[in-house]
């Protein structure tokens, strides 16, 4: 196993394939293993870099709650790229990873050549934000109390049950891997990352200035992410939005073939200069163009 030290925490990473670097950033309920179907596909063309966030084995699981944080996760991603001497990479992030990816594109614009932000923005939609924070903090308390994630309950959640309905074997693997996550790492990630990270609405100006080609992805049954992704599409002139029908939060696991195809087509467009900034005339809801 390979590790890089980020401010005293050893972070696991693996590299597969060759070509332009492609960094994968997993979600709260996932880990490095949940990208397997993507690595097998993309490593034929790209140098795939998969990591496990702090708190997710085989990375270190700090006992100090203060070692966790949403901004720390951003630093960790850059630390791994620096260690591997990657000056610029494509990025694919899911949920928590999508949030990190958006901040990489905002704060480290020269390091991101293209971004896929899938199932991102949980907790950012203003009408449901307080409920998200309260639920997350309550879940953290339960995880600490039980010293483990309530994996079966979480895997049956309203935005994850879609995987079970489509692929019982894949859902069972996801649930079993989730059950292996240490309670400390999961609870402190909930407290210090999910519950306290700012709403994406707070960064409207910065998001509008992102120049990296960006593809937003959302499942049409992922209620917590639908509205924020429509908002992101409108806020980010370099963003396109694709919606997966009859799909929830785990897009790369629910529809791996479609997910991979949409991503590789997007990367091709970005690399060929065919992913263009949104034309300002498309912002109108008018049916006809303005008369001279």
User: Which residues sit opposite 10 in a β-bridge?
Assistant: 5
The order of strands in the sheet holding 9-16 is 2-6, 9-16, 47-51, 21-25, 89-94, 112-118, 214-219, 239-244
Give residues with Cβ within 8 angstroms of 57, minimum separation 6.
12, 31, 180, 181, 182, 185
pLDDT band (50, 70, 90) for residue 263? very high
Average pLDDT of every residue of the chain: 97
Report percent pLDDT > 70 for the chain: 99
The number of angstroms, rounded, from the C-alpha of 272 to the middle of its chain's C-alpha atoms is 24
- 10-21: pLDDT as tens digits: 999 999 999 999
Residue 181 placed within a domain: no
Q: What is the pLDDT of residue 194?
A: 97
How far, in Å, CA of 242 to CA of 252, rounded? 13
Residue 212 placed within a domain: yes
Residue 183 placed within a domain: no
Domain with 81 in it: 2-127+199-277
Residue 40 placed within a domain: yes
pLDDT surpassing 60 at residue 292: no
Any idea what the CATH number is for the domain that residue 123 is in? 3.40.50.1820
Q: What is the pLDDT of residue 288?
A: 81
Left (φ > 0), alpha (ψ -120 to 50) or beta: where does 115 sit? beta
Is 53 within 8 Å of 73 (Cβ atoms)?
Answer: yes
- pTM, two decimals, is 0.96
- 140-190: pLDDT as tens digits: 999 999 999 999 999 999 999 999 999 999 999 999 999 999 999 999 999
Q: What is the pLDDT of residue 291?
A: 58
- 178-209: pLDDT as tens digits: 999 999 999 999 999 999 999 999 999 999 99
Q: How many other C-beta atoms can be found within 10 angstroms of the C-beta atom of residue 289? A: 8
Is 61 within 8 Å of 68 (Cβ atoms)?
Answer: no
pLDDT surpassing 90 at residue 1: no
Total number of domains in the chain: 1
Q: What is the pLDDT of residue 280?
A: 87
How far, in Å, CA of 193 to CA of 266, rounded? 29
How far, in Å, CA of 142 to CA of 183, rounded? 9
Q: What is the pLDDT of residue 285?
A: 85
Average of pLDDT values for 117-134?
97
pLDDT surpassing 70 at residue 290: no
pLDDT surpassing 80 at residue 89: yes
Average of pLDDT values for 70-76?
98
Q: What is the pLDDT of residue 243?
A: 98
Residue 290 placed within a domain: no
Residue 80 placed within a domain: yes
Average of pLDDT values for 46-59?
98
Residue 77 placed within a domain: yes
Average of pLDDT values for 243-252?
98
3-state SS record for the chain: CEEEEECCEEEEEEEECCCCEEEEECCCCCCHHHHHHHHHHHCCCCEEEEECCCCCCCCCCCCCHHHCCHHHHHHHHHHHHHHCCCCCEEEEEECHHHHHHHHHHHHCHHHEEEEEEECCCCCCCHHHHHHHHHHHHHHHHHHHHHCCCCHHHHHCCCCCHHHHHHCHHHHHHHHHHHHCCCHHHHHHHHHHHHCCCCCHHHHHHHHHCCCCCEEEEEECCCHHHHHHHHHHHHHCCCEEEEEECCCCCCHHHHCHHHHHHHHHHHHHHHHCCCCCCCCHHHHCCCCCCCCC
Residue 15 placed within a domain: yes
How far, in Å, CA of 112 to CA of 10, rounded? 23
């Amino acid at each position: 196993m390979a590790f890089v030290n980020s401010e005293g925490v050893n972070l696991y990473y693996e590299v597969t394939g060759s070509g332009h670097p492609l960094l994968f950033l997993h979600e709260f309920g996932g880990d490095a293993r949940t990208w397997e179907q993507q690595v097998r596909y993309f490593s034929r063309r790209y140098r795939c870099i998969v990591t496990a966030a702090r708190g997710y084995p085989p990375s270190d699981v700090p006992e100090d709650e203060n070692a966790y944080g949403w901004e720390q996760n951003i630093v960790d991603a850059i630390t791994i790229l620096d260690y591997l001497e990657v000056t610029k990479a494509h990025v694919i992030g899911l949920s928590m990873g999508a949030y990190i990816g958006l901040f990489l594109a905002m704060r480290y614009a020269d390091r991101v050549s293209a971004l896929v932000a899938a199932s991102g923005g949980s907790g950012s939609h203003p009408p449901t934000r307080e409920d998200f924070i309260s639920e997350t903090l309550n879940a953290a308390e339960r995880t600490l109390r039980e010293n483990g994630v309530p994996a079966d309950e979480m895997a049956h959640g309203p935005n994850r049950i879609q995987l079970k309905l489509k692929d019982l074997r894949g859902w069972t693997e996801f649930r079993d891997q989730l059950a292996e996550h240490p309670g400390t790492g999961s609870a402190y990630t909930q407290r210090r990352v999910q519950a306290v990270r700012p709403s994406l609405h707070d960064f409207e100006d910065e998001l509008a200035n992102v120049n990296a080609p960006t593809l937003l992805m959302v499942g049409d049954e992922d209620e917590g992410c639908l509205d924020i992704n429509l908002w992101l599409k409108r806020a980010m002139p370099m963003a396109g939005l694709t919606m997966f029908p009859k799909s929830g939060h785990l897009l790369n696991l629910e529809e791996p073939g479609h997910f991979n195809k949409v991503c590789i087509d997007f990367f091709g467009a970005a690399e060929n200069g065919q992913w263009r900034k949104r034309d300002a005339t498309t912002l109108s809801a008018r049916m006809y163009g303005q008369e001279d």
